[in-house]
Chain A
Amino acid sequence: MPDTTTSAPNLQDAVIVGGNRIPFARAGSRYLGASNQDMFTAALDGLVARYGLQGEQLGEVVAGAVLKHSRDFNLVRESVLGSALSPTTPAFDLQQACATGLEAFITVANKIRLGQIDSAIAGGVDTVSDAPIAISDRLRSALLQASYAKTLGQRAKALATVRPKDLAPANPRTDEPRTGLSMGEHQAITTAKWEISREDQDLIAYNSHHNLARAYNNGFFDDLVTPFRGLSRDQNLREDTSLEKLASLSPAFGKSLSTPATMTAGNSTALTDGASTVLVANREWAKKRNLTPLARFVDAQTAAVDYVHGREGLLMAPVHAVPRLLERNGLTLQDFDFYEIHEAFAATVLTTLAAWEDDEYCRTELNLPQALGAIDRERLNVTGSSLAAGHPFAATGARILAGVAKLLHERAASTGKPARALVSVCAAGGLGAVAIVESA
């Protein structure tokens, strides 16, 4: 028996070293027939090639997919086995709806900080084009009963309960299970509550496309994206979109509300396919491989809201997570060089900002002494976000993290001062995850 108990290890820095993703494709288009495993393996192999990790045993690979076949229970491990990484690299699947990628990053970064692993890849993948289609519950129940039947008679009896309508396939549902409302309809309600204008939403969409296009044209994504199936840029990107064009689109959500419908296909994210990764390590691991730490993980926070009973909007959880994160780190909302707020819908970004600017709301709903205040919009989603790039649900987190790490590194290099970013991702189920990263 030992004489003393063990002591907790000192925390180490978890740093983002780089990232890689495949371009995001519009659903039912270029990646039709590509599975989650195909796409995630491609994203992994691109990362391995860029950072010379062939045959390396990493600490862990953690990623996930929101729409997943039941056969893909070990999707990430299977992808690792199909990649150029060492087959002795552990992996696991994680899922937190659209916050999957960010949550995977938080998970591996915390393990690295605790010294449990020295290196990791976090990421995510999703395909709407290869989404699982299930059989109906009644058919499934009959098949299961038949498979447990001991006699032919019992089996026949179980199968005899199947009705023709039970044979219709069950498509993955996109509605929130507890409210029956789609995410767009939920956001439309929040949009109406906060009286967000159509013009403001279209401007967010316009900036997203133009910022993403500029970043591509400046070569920003050259070491962040690997072409896949003939695509080298995000297919959803409309470099030539204008405010007039966006203004001409018909509303898609909120049409049955008593207020005017303002959300269109232009200011809402399109369904897309894609995969992304981000490489995270401790400083020593990076140094040994001559890799430059770009950004350091500071802290993260998740939150959830009661959208079921209308107490809060479905996509407003990050609004609640951020003040807790700021308080713990002694920061104000204005202490950031970059804000990456996932554009589930343009209106999501705007209701989030409006809530933080609202004194009454911040006092009553967030228990703050006053409003968090406004942010400098010039620092928001400066290389575009999900409206332009697309949003393959689980792949968004690592897309944001790899990009913002590079932005922070560039900013710190040019100013000689540290730079800091706030990352915010809303998710189905009234969930939200937010994180702070700083130049390393």
Chain B
Amino acid sequence: MTLPPIDRPGTVRELDRVPSLMALYAKALTPDPADVARLGARILPDALRPKQRTATIDDRHRSLPDVALKVRGVTANPQGLREYQNLLGFPRTEDLPAGYVHVLAFPVAMAVMAAPDFPLPLAGMVHLENRVDVDRTLTVGETFTVTAWASNLSGHLKGTRVDLIVEVSDPEGVVWRGVSTYLAKGTYTHGRGNDTGAAREFTPPLPTGSWSLGAGIGREYAAVSGDRNPIHLSALTAKAFGFPRAIAHGMYTAARALADARPLHGERYSWTVEFAKPVLLPEKVAVAITPHNAGGASYVGWNSKTGKLHFSGEISPL
């Protein structure tokens, strides 16, 4: 059995290997002249600030490049896998945790976003939510094909949403699919959407666990994931992007919840996460896992001191 197919873009461009995230970040963080101009505008007093640019693009396929990027022969490195398993709390087996498949495949999605014809700025993108469907567990010796593209541009109160879709396939078909939803803050290509922006009411339940996340957890996750986004690395680099301290990587928190919820799901399952307030490091995160009678579990993480919601999600059998 494989995952049911979904619409793919008309053209597929093949890359000879998974691109380096470092190079993609470097590209993303090199300001283009338009951004410099916008930044200049941002430090002006409100009255002098030019009106927010609100481009209107009515055709989804014109706004997002109708192309998917594809890399064949992707495989996991056993040492890298072990380090990931150690950090996230997965058992040290040959199985690739669903979160590790994300780590291996996601640079291809980053390359989609870093392409010159991608309509939204890569720097400062906010991860809103993530969904992964797992058809079967991949193992360390396998090679697979990664295909990634962008889809579903839509308006949001604070900017524009976009889905990055990443598929991992074996010769039979798609066995793992991730949909990562990002928000390009302050870039309005599709209006403001109908999201009221009201924060979800949250009352902390009784916890089932506690994560003491040290100041270095962002760096540790960067080391095992290769994702060296400066907002996770240190207070100094995070400040440059408007965060008071380094923040935990969303996929670290989601994958750790997935590890904690083991072995409640079967072989085929979906794993979702919705991010609320970022985790400012260091922090003690309270976590509650609630098993479902039909298998799977829901999970939620919050600041154990303030009670503010950080993330919530579900693991459900497919």
Interface residues of A (CB under 8 A from B): 175, 178-181, 185, 189, 192-193, 256-258, 306-311
Contacts and interface: CB of A to CB of B under 8 A. Distances in A.
Contacts of A181: 207, 209-210
B266 to A, nearest CB: 15
B305 interface: yes
17 contacts: A178-B89, A178-B260, A179-B208, A180-B211, A181-B207, A181-B210, A193-B206, A256-B286, A257-B207, A258-B203, A258-B307, A308-B209, A309-B261, A309-B290, A309-B291, A309-B297, A310-B206
Given A256-B305, A309-B297, A189 B206 contact: yes
B291 A256 contact: no
B93 interface: no
Contacts of B208: 179, 189, 307-310
Contacts of B260: 178, 308-309
B210 A258 contact: no
A189 B210 CA distance: 12
Interface string B68-81: 00000000000000
Nearest to A192: B206
Nearest to A165: B216
Main secondary structure of the interface of B (DSSP, over half): mixed
Contacts of A306: 291
A178 B260 CA distance: 8
B54 interface: no
B19 interface: no
B304 interface: yes
Given A256-B304, A309-B264, A185 B210 contact: yes
Interface in B271-313: 286, 288-291, 297, 304-305, 307
Contacts of B290: 309-310
Nearest to B284: A256
A178 B291 CA distance: 16
Given A256-B305, A258-B307, A180 B291 contact: no
Contacts of A175: 210
Nearest to B209: A179
B212 interface: yes
Interface string B207-231: 1111110000000000000000000
B204 interface: yes
A13 to B, nearest CB: 43
A164 to B, nearest CB: 14
Residue among B209, B260, B264, B286 with the highest chain A CB neighbour number at 10 A: B209
Contacts of B291: 306, 309-311
Contacts of A257: 206-207
Interface in B33-83: none
Nearest to A256: B304
A306 B289 CA distance: 12
Contacts of A309: 208, 260-261, 264, 289-291, 297
B204 A258 contact: yes
A310 B307 contact: no
Nearest to A182: B210
B307 to A, nearest CB: 7
Nearest to B204: A258
